[in-house]
Amino acid sequence: MVTLEEVRASNAQVSESLSPGLVTVFVGGTRGVGESTMKGFARHVAQPRIYFVGRSERAAARVTADLAAINPRAECHFIRVDVSLLRNVDKVCWDIKRRERFVNLLFFATGVPTVGKGQYSETAESLYYPTAMAYYSRVRFIVNLLPLLQRAPALRRVVSVYGGGCEGQLCLGDLQGRSLPTVLSSTTSTPLGLDLRSHTSSMMTLAFESLALEAPDSHSGRPRSHGIIVIIVCLGLSQGPAAPCGG
């Protein structure tokens, strides 16, 4: 495993190793992991252009002010939208495509409530809310923005903070996972158990693998998108309401 010191040493070289003007999209940037990562990114990259997505205007104003203090040459655009609706995801992507020729980094840190004891609702598009957030919304963003990622001259990355390593059984009869217990409400949950997080993590990992196989690489023309690196992350506990214990 890479040590924290190695990560810090690598980050310290970013401003020299990467050209200025990287374009990034943080889906879930108004607090938690997305906010911290975005600030770290702004600290190390010269003249980044950052689009960040969330619903809270107030939090976005605070984050925007912080980013301006960290890197006065960073250009920040907050996009206020509920990304559990795929029609909203399409609008956001359309807007980004209108403004940008390429995207270097697409980072997902939207809070996904698959570990609590709550009852979850359906979205207006008849998707189960936690699965819309963990899976459908993220896949839609990637598919929509794939041409821009492939066009990026350097650094082509998709990072999804969710349940990397938490994959388990798939419930093929209930892909949206409406019948599945959440981790804390399940009495039978094991690392290989059938619960909502394991199920959606497996769906996400398989979708990433499929996209990586099928997407053509616009640089080499080869059938696989070797150029785009996909990273799936699962955190230990960190501060934020999406933490398993809500802390």
Ligand X SMILES: NC(=O)c1ccc[n+]([C@@H]2O[C@H](COP(=O)([O-])OP(=O)(O)OC[C@H]3O[C@@H](n4cnc5c(N)ncnc54)[C@H](OP(=O)(O)O)[C@@H]3O)[C@@H](O)[C@H]2O)c1
Q: At which residue do the structure tokens 């950052």 appear?
A: 50
CB distance 18 to 11 below 8 Å: no
**Least distance CB 22 / ligand X (angstroms):** 20
Amino acid of residue 218: S
Task: Supply 15's token pair.
Answer: 């401003």
User: Is residue 201 a contact point for ligand X (CB under 6 A)?
Assistant: no
User: Is residue 111 a contact point for ligand X (CB under 6 A)?
Assistant: yes
Residue range at the interface with ligand X (CB under 6 A); choices 15-23, 43-51, 71-79, 110-118? 110-118
Task: Supply 183's token pair.
Answer: 């981790």
> Which listed residue (22, 24, 25, 32) binds ligand X by CB under 6 A?
32
Q: At which residue do the structure tokens 């984050």 appear?
A: 63
In angstroms, the first-to-last Cα distance of the chain is 26
Environment class of 223 (CB within 10 Å of its CB; exposed 0-12, middle 13-18, buried 19+) = exposed
User: Is residue 109 a contact point for ligand X (CB under 6 A)?
Assistant: yes
Environment class of 182 (CB within 10 Å of its CB; exposed 0-12, middle 13-18, buried 19+) = buried
User: Is residue 76 a contact point for ligand X (CB under 6 A)?
Assistant: no
> Which listed residue (22, 23, 24, 34) binds ligand X by CB under 6 A?
34
User: Is residue 159 a contact point for ligand X (CB under 6 A)?
Assistant: no
Residue range at the interface with ligand X (CB under 6 A); choices 65-73, 105-113, 173-181, 182-190? 105-113
User: Is residue 121 a contact point for ligand X (CB under 6 A)?
Assistant: no
**Residues 127, 62: Cα–Cα separation, whole Å:** 32
**Least distance CB 16 / ligand X (angstroms):** 29
> Which listed residue (48, 54, 130, 177) binds ligand X by CB under 6 A?
54
Binding site for ligand X (CB under 6 A): 28-34, 53-56, 59, 82-84, 109-112, 161-162, 234-235, 237-238, 240-243
